[in-house]
Amino acid sequence: MLRKMLEKDRKRFKRKVHIRKRITGTAERPRMTVFKSNKSLSMQIIDDTKGHTLASASTLEKDLRGIKNTVAGAGQLGEVMGKRLVEKNIKEVVFDRNGYLYHGLVKAMADGARKAGVQF
């Protein structure tokens, strides 16, 4: 089983590198990246020109611990992230799926952010 998990991670890393060749975040349009594990979800907004994280949201935060690792929970996390971006006056981002397939949790996070007013 360990060998299978290592192979799975290796394939995701290759997809991630391939995607990152084309996607970069700027100050006007930062990069929104997602990460999912079996227990938690997280999102970050990154300005790649400076190498700074502008905003982040994670189910590990104290006030967001009630969000489950489900599609509905991912949508809630996306909405929280979208609201944080609107507060910081960031309206457009570039979406980085981080090597994951664009369905399920990843799609729900993106749709939640769109619902809060962020454009991709």
Does 120 reside within a domain?
no
The runs of H, that is alpha helices, within 1-120 are 2-20, 71-87, 105-115
Question: Which is more confidently placed, 98 or 1?
Answer: 98
Looking at residue 1, what is its pLDDT?
Answer: 59
Does 34 reside within a domain?
yes
The domain that holds 105 is classified in CATH as 3.30.420.100
Does 20 reside within a domain?
yes
Residues listed for the chain: 120
pTM of the model: 0.88
Please tell me the total count of domains within the chain.
Answer: 1
Cβ atoms < 10 Å from Cβ of 48:
16
Percentage of the residues of the chain whose pLDDT score is greater than 90: 83
pLDDT tens digits for 16-25? 999 999 999 9
pLDDT, mean of residues 25-45: 94
Does 43 reside within a domain?
yes
Percentage of the residues of the chain whose pLDDT score is greater than 70: 97
Q: Which domain holds residue 12?
A: 2-115
